């Protein structure tokens, strides 16, 4: 299987500070890749580079290549790229409007018109994220009144409205309790049947539970990547072994 995304000697610097250093990484289609590593190792910068959100950063410099389905992302119009590669942030990000309009806003922005079309897509995405039965009688209610877990599922549903192929998730469970974390993890596994998912997580047990493969970053470098089972049971690099043993955080 050809990789859905391919990173070739990807380096990112902000001003004089190098964040990512010559990263080479193949991301397979319809699988879950977990990115782990200590704070400041470049995990979030990696996600922001994959959909070119990094270009919004002042003094950002990117070298190397990111290929999406074999095409350099620099050659893809920015608006199109960000419909193809969605991003879910660490904290839920509902818009200060109704539940319905949170999803309708994204659809209208990308040219979807007609109430019947909007209704159909919104219901489908809310169902996909396990949220429809909980909110179907309250679609005009402010999304800000939802619980944290519901808000995160709404944010995911909104990202899926524009039919991306890849979903990037930056610590999507870090602000949630155990119950809602389990709901989001189960959702991520279900979504991987249709979407390629890259999740940044500080939770090693979460990576073990849901990821097909795991990549470890340290100091902006990719130290090791393997199937999740092999990664955790038989790490090949001493830095990986030390990290898994908690010798540095």
Q: What is the residue-wise DSSP string for 165-189?
A: SEEEEESTTTTS-HHHHHHHHHHHH
* b/e 85-113 (16+ beta carbons within 10 angstroms → b): bbbbbeebbbbeebbbbbbbebbeeeebe
Going from N- to C-terminal start, the domains of the chain cover 5-93+166-244
The model's pTM is 0.94
Per-residue pLDDT of the chain (249 residues; tens, 9 = 90+): 679 999 999 999 999 999 999 999 999 999 999 999 999 999 999 999 999 999 888 899 999 999 999 999 999 999 899 999 999 988 888 999 999 999 999 899 888 889 999 999 999 999 999 999 999 999 999 999 999 999 999 999 999 999 999 999 999 999 899 999 999 999 999 999 999 999 999 999 999 999 999 999 999 999 999 999 999 999 999 999 999 988 544
Residue 32: per-residue pLDDT: 98
Residue 224: per-residue pLDDT: 97
Residue 58: per-residue pLDDT: 85
Burial class (CB in 10 A: 0-12, 13-18, 19+), 18: middle
SS3 for 238?
A: helix
Residue 91: per-residue pLDDT: 87
Q: Which CATH class is domain 5-93+166-244?
A: alpha beta
| Residue 114 in tokens | 């007609």
Q: CA-CA distance, 212 to 85, in Å (whole number)?
A: 19
SS3 for 38?
A: coil
Give Cα separations from 132 to 111, 127, 173 (angstroms). 23, 5, 20
* b/e 38-67 (16+ beta carbons within 10 angstroms → b): eeebbbbbbbbbbbbbbeebeebebebebb
Q: CA-CA distance, 74 to 208, in Å (whole number)?
A: 33
């Amino acid at each position: 299987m050809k990789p859905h995304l391919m990173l070739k000697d990807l380096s990112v610097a902000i001003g004089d500070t190098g964040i990512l250093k010559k990263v080479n990484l193949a991301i397979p289609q319809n699988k879950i890749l977990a990115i782990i590593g200590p704070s400041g190792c470049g995990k979030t910068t990696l996600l922001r580079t994959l959909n070119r959100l990094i270009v919004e950063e002042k003094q950002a410099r990117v070298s190397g290549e990111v290929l999406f389905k074999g095409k350099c992302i620099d050659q893809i119009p920015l608006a199109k790229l960000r419909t193809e590669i969605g991003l879910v942030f660490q904290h839920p990000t509902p818009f200060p409007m109704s539940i319905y309009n949170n999803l309708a806003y994204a659809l209208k922005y990308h040219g979807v018109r007609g109430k019947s079309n909007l209704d159909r897509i919104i219901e489908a995405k809310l169902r996909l994220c396990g949220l429809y039965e909980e909110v179907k009688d309250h679609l005009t209610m402010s999304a800000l009144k939802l619980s944290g877990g519901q808000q995160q599922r709404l944010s995911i549903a909104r990202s899926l409205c524009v039919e991306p192929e890849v979903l990037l998730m930056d610590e999507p469970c870090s602000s949630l309790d155990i119950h809602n974390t389990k709901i989001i993890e189960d959702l991520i596994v279900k979504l991987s049947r249709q979407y390629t998912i890259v999740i940044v997580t500080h939770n090693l047990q979460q990576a073990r539970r849901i990821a097909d493969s795991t990549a470890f970053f340290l100091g902006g470098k990719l130290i090791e990547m393997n199937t999740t089972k092999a990664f955790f049971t038989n790490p090949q690099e001493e830095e990986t072994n030390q990290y898994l043993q908690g010798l540095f955080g």
